[in-house]
Amino acid sequence: MNNHPSKERTLVIIKPDGVQRSLIGEIIKRYEKMGLKMIAIKMVVPDASFVRKHYTVDPEWQKKAGEKAIASYQKKGIEPPLKNPIEAGNRVLETLIKYMTSGPVVALVWQGAHAVEVVRKVTGGTEPRTSDVGTIRGDFVLDSYIVSDTDGRAVRNLIHASGSTEEANKEIKLWFKENELVNYRLIAEQILYDVNLDGILE
């Protein structure tokens, strides 16, 4: 049952600001309480070429990130600083390299039903200014495209979370060796996924 839908995996990185703000425990708690199972964890200081690799596992990422930022400016009725999505995305990548190499980060792999989607939901939207209340980004940080772009730095939003299952599979391979992913059973999984919920009553 290794490809059962309850075994979907996703990568989360607690970015340097999350570590510095002492939010490691708080962030882990949110995913853990949702019922996801942590199957890998490590603290590292990534170097520039590694961060570049991480953000370009999806060759379309630059364009998508650029389009998202441009759309957010336009939605607010403001002229975006760069109008070409690829150019905007490239600029974001350079600022991200500085951000992500500035200190230790914590990389985690979570497993469970719809892991990619539910982690993104609880993490909240990219721009903390507009991330929903109740999400991690919405509750614990307040950065915006305007403030970060004005200063030529990446949006500080505490967390990276894979955007799709394809992205997750590639990113997990990049961050973890196969033998660093731990296969084990959590008792709570019986309550979350077992067909009959038998074994509760004595």
160 binds ligand GDP per the rule CB under 6 A? yes
Q: Which strands make up the sheet holding 159-161, listed edge to edge?
A: 37-44, 105-111, 9-14, 159-161
**Token pair 């497993």 in the structure block, residue:** 111
Name the 3-class secondary structure at 45: coil
Verify binding: residue 136, ligand GDP, rule CB under 6 A.
no
Nearer to ligand GDP by Cβ, of 92 and 106: the residue is 92
Site for ligand GDP (CB under 6 A): how many residues? Answer: 15
Neighbours of 118 (CB within 10 A): 19
Q: Is 149 in the site for ligand GDP (CB under 6 A)?
A: yes
Closer of 12 and 36 to Mg ion (Cβ):
12
**Is 129 among the residues that bind ligand GDP (CB under 6 A)?**
no
Distance CA 66, CA 85 (A): 4
Q: CB-wise, 138 or 163, nearer to ligand GDP?
A: 163
- Interface with ligand GDP in residues 6-45 (CB under 6 A): none
- Structure tokens belonging to residue 76: 């607010």
Length of the chain (residues):
202
Residue 114 annotated in active site: no
Which tokens go with 46? 């990534």
> Which of these, 130, 90, 115, lies nearest to 34 by C-alpha position?
115
Report, as residue numbers or ranges, the catalytic residues.
Answer: 160
Give the residues lining the site for ligand GDP (CB under 6 A): 65, 68-69, 92, 95-96, 126, 145, 148-149, 154-155, 157, 160, 163
